[in-house]
Amino acid sequence: MEYRIIEGADQMKVCEVERLLKMTYWADRRPTETIEKSMRNSACFGIRSGEDRKLTGFARVISDYATTWYLCDVIIDPEYRDQGLGKALVSHITSKFSGLRGLLLTRDAHGLYAQYGFGSAGDRAMSRNPG
């Protein structure tokens, strides 16, 4: 599958991100205004797939860029799952923030994040040491 990882909220429309977040259990009721504000105040990453360059994946990072980063809102469109897009997105993000401590919360994706150095820090929390 042909895909391209993009960086920056200016590279995606709020309505594209909202479409993806509506597919989640954690942000399906998040108001458009909140999505827009969260994008403005985060490092945003996306995946555009296929010839039409549809936004098929999204993730945000909240960070001080000195010590810690928090990975959130990771979503791949269900139609495009099981093609390695989630792995590509997480790999790209972890490489960008490799010198900082990473944190995230997940209910059901511990196996994915463990592949990128995240270890369990409780039932839902995971952390990744710098390096």
Residue 27 half-sphere exposure toward CB, CA atoms < 13 A: 21
- The CA radius of gyration of the chain, in Å to the nearest whole number, is 14
User: Residue 51: pLDDT above 90?
Assistant: no
Lowest mean pLDDT of 49-53, 69-73, 77-81, 102-106, name the range: 49-53
Structure tokens at 116: 């990128």
Mean pLDDT throughout 11-34?
97
Domains of the chain are: 3-128 (3.40.630.30)
- Cα–Cα dist 56/38, whole Å: 19
CA atoms 115, 116, 119, 124: torsion sign: negative
pLDDT for 59: 98
Please write the tens of the pLDDT for every residue from 86-120.
999 999 999 999 999 999 999 988 989 999 999 99
